[in-house]
Amino acid sequence: MITAENITRHELIGLETLIVKSTNSQMIGLHGKVIDETKSMFAIQTAAGIKTIPKHNSTWQFSFNGTSALVDGNTITKRSFERMGVKA
């Protein structure tokens, strides 16, 4: 089960997300559903279309199961299978 404590070890595609802090002030407040993920980027479906956003230098809020968790983007700048501890 996904929790705030173990969210970085789970699949993030499909979760709602919001950028709450960023070195790029134009990114703050951007929100939508994560539709794809690479080592360093998220593709997010927003009301204005698909946006590709770098993971690093931002703090992300992910919503799941009626709760949310804040994640430092620098800690998840890995391929999803590396982040989950799965060997390729």
Q: Among 1, 3, 2, 8, which Cα is nearest to 71's? A: 8
Q: What is the mean pLDDT of the chain?
A: 92
pLDDT at 86: 58
Q: Among 53, 46, 66, which Cα is nearest to 2's? A: 66
DSSP 80: H
CA distance 56 to 20: 13
**Whole-structure pTM value:** 0.89
CATH number of the structural domain 7-81: 2.30.30.210
Q: Is the pLDDT of residue 61 over 90?
A: yes
